[in-house]
Amino acid sequence: MACCGGIFDWDNSIRELAELNAKAEDSSLWNDAQKAQEVMKRRQELDTRIGGILRIQTSIADNTELIGMGEAEGDQSIVDEAEKALVALKKDVAAVELDALLSGEADGNDSYLQINAGAGGTESQDWASMLMRMYVRWANLNKYKVEVLDQHDGEEAGVKSCTLLIKGKNAYGKLKTESGVHRLVRISPYDSNARRHTSFSSAWAYPVIDDNINIDIIDSDLKVDTYRASGAGGQHINTTDSAVRITHMPTGIIVACQAERSQHKNRATALKMLKSRLYEREVQLKQDKVDAANATKTDIGWGHQIRSYVLQPYQLVKDLRTGFTSTNPTAVLGGELDDFIQASLAHRIHGGAGAIEDID
C-alpha cells in the first residue's frame, strides 16, 4: 500500500485474503494439515494488516467528521477531543508503516541477537553490555520475550560476548537492520584523567527458522565442544560441562549455548542457532550480489560501522546508512530504537537495496 511507504500491495492483498477465506471454508483443506496451517497463518497475517489499516482509515474519517461538526456547532470540546484522538492515532500509523516494510521470508520470526565487544578491553566490553541492555529494553518496550542463551563476562566489567533469543512477531524483521558495528564516544568512567574514548562493539541478528525452511547439516562437518557454564547466563547451572559450543567447519561459524542445565538441551538449541546462522549466511550472500550489482549503493555492508553514539562533547546518535539522528542518546540507549529501525527498513527498500529474491 503506497500510503504506508512500503511494499505492502493493498489491492493484491485484498484479493489474496478473499481467496484464502474461500479456501478456509473448504473442508477438504484440512486433509493436508501442514497446508491448512500455512493457509490459516497467511490468512491471519493479511487479516491483521488489512484490519489495522481499515481501522485507521475509519478513525481518521470519524474524527475528521467530528471536527467539522464541532466547528459548525461552535463546540470546541468536540473539536479538542477529536484532534486529541488524531494525535494519538500517529502511534498506530507508525506501527502500520513499520509492518508494511517487513516482507522477507523470515521477517515475522523470532530472532537471535549476538553481541561482541571489539578491541579495547574493558571499554569495549562495557559498551557491549550497554548494547545488550539497550536491546533488552527495546524488546521489553515491544512486549517481546528475551532469553540469554550464552554470555561471557569481561574480567573487570561488561561482557565479551552474549547471545540473546528475542521472541515476538517480526522480531527478526526489525532487528536485521541492527546488524553491524556500533561506535560509542564518551568520557570513560574507567579513565582517571577523564579523557574521551571511542569504543566499538558489533551486533548480529539472525532469524529463528521454522520447519518450512530446510537447512541440511552434515554431522561430520561439526566440531562439538563442551565446557562449564559461566557468567550471568550460567549462574543457575550445575557444575558439570553442560554448556555446548558447535563449530561448523566448512564456514567457520561458531554457536554456543549454556542456558539449560542439560547438555542435550543446550546442544539442541545450539544446532537450531547454527541452522539459523547458515540460513542467514545464504540470504546475505544473495544480498551481497545485489549490492555489488547496484552502482548507487554505498559501502554499508552488514559488517561495517552502522551507527555512532556520541555522549561527549555533544549528544547525538546517528545512523550512518540513512542519516537519521537523535539528540537524545539516553532514550535510544533506553531502548527507543523504532524510529531508527523504520528508517533503515525504508532505506533498504527505497535506497536501491533491491530484492534478493531476484538473484538466482
| CATH number of the structural domain spanning residue 230 | 3.30.160.20
Whether residue 24 is contained in a domain is answered as yes
Residue 359 within a domain: no
Instruction: Indicate whether 276 belongs to any domain.
Output: yes
* CATH label of the domain that carries residue 43: 1.20.58.410
| pLDDT at residue 320 greater than cutoff 80 | yes
Q: Band the pLDDT of 167: cuts 50, 70, 90.
A: very high
Q: Which domain holds residue 51?
A: 2-100
Say how far apart CA 150 and CA 274 lie, in whole Å. 14
Is pTM beyond 0.85? Reply is no
> For residue 360, is it within any domain?
no
Same domain, 208 and 223: no
pLDDT (tens digit per residue) in 265-312: 898 888 888 888 888 888 777 666 555 544 333 332 334 689 999 998
For the domain that residue 199 is a member of, what is the CATH number?
Answer: 3.30.70.1660
In this structure, is residue 251 part of a structural domain?
yes
Q: Mind listing the pLDDT tens digit for each residue in 196-205? A: 889 999 999 9
- 227/269 same-domain check: yes
Regarding whether 170 and 44 lie in a shared domain, the answer is: no
Helix (H) or strand (E) holding 224: strand 222-227
Q: Say which DSSP state 78 is in.
A: H
Mean pLDDT of 178-202: 88
Q: How many domains does the chain have?
A: 3
Do both 347 and 202 map to the same domain?
yes
Alpha carbon separation from 89 to 45, 56, 59, 92, 138 (Å, rounded): 21, 7, 8, 5, 21
Residue 289 domain-assigned (yes or no): no
How confident is the model over 67-88, as pLDDT tens digits?
A: 999 899 999 999 999 999 988 8
- On whether residue 163 sits in a domain, the answer given is yes
Domain boundary (49, 69, 100) is at 100
